[in-house]
Structure 1
């Protein structure tokens, strides 16, 4: 571990990038210096200048310097993006997700630490500044050893993940069906109850429904005995009904017999008998007249 808190391999990569940045910075500074030198060689040929002439020269120099600095800043940003792309591509091959903290880029303490690191690496004894630039390439991913084990583990985890996803889809389907059934039942209950306005009434109805359900479950266990008892009661009632019908029939006969024994019945019967005899006599007479004719 060193000043930046990195291992030797990563620290060497940082040094190479800093060397690349220093070379680009030195080249761009030379370009800026040449802009000033060109101005001196091309315009500063007289002993005196007017204010307008000085203003014109400074404005032209500002445009040139502004363009050079802007170009360098843009190029630096793009090179940083390419560097990040290399790191992210390597991480994605191992299914890693790197994270960055942009706020640390303006951390003054860390910036001073990097500046001190650069000063130590490139100014001490003048050796490292003049050393050859090392251009390492991205190491290929081997198919054996640790890489093979990691690849197999990743494949296994992917298969397990696919199985879990399939199971999750099944559970989601079942949950959706259960939710739809629940919604239908709730809608059915709302239609039955016609949605009471007072929530207390809803609570009372729910309690009543729960009590009825509990009572139903309780009565269901003894339904056989009650059914047998009801059947026995029904048979007994039928017997009682037959007895009552028989009693009514006897009562009716007795009433008819008593009525026949009354004076009114006897008088009516005598009157009917006399009338019948009179009718017979009349018919007999009529039959005599019919014979004569």
Structure 2
């Protein structure tokens, strides 16, 4: 039995195509035989012929036979194109690109192997003939994914799982660094607030008192909108004076805060904390760059 390296399904498809090709070949041979029979019946009616008459009969027969052979060759080429069209259409559904080696079509060894296959393997039992004759060229998407596609899909899934695992690891590292940064920032704020609370307590109380005064004056001003113009002018002046005083105190407080911050920044605890935060920020930037390799921003 000839071995083409195909599975049982593809082997039966080859048998179907060879059966089709043989039937077309037999029909064309019958047509050629009929040409000769027609010549015998229509022209060979005398005992002797001249050279010109024989030449004329042979030329006519040559034209008829040539037409039959040419028609069969053209039909065979077109049929092969339709067969390739079916195969390529199925391959393109799964984004495959089939290739053919035209030089292999003249490989004598392979041609002899096909001839041997036609003589031996093509002669199967009637039961198998009946079953395979009913089969059609099934699209790949209806008959299942081929072994090549299954392997490729499995490989892609494995790569995808590895990327997902790597991404989860990077996300976990990023979250850990962010949490640590947040803790350090809270610690720094607590240190700043602790050292500044004592010196800013007096200014804070004064600001609160002034804010309460401004709020009370504003409330009185709103209640007395219907009063006379003199009373309204006096309230406005009081409010403006209070606001000016508030701005002055806020400016003093701002200067005091800047002075306090300047002194605090000179302490060793602040410098250490600032250096830790800088290192964590660099780690976050590096992790973000690594994350963008797997999930780039739109």
What TM-score comes out, normalization by structure 2 length?
Answer: 0.46
Q: Which has the larger radius of gyration?
A: 1
What TM-score comes out, normalization by structure 1 length?
Answer: 0.47
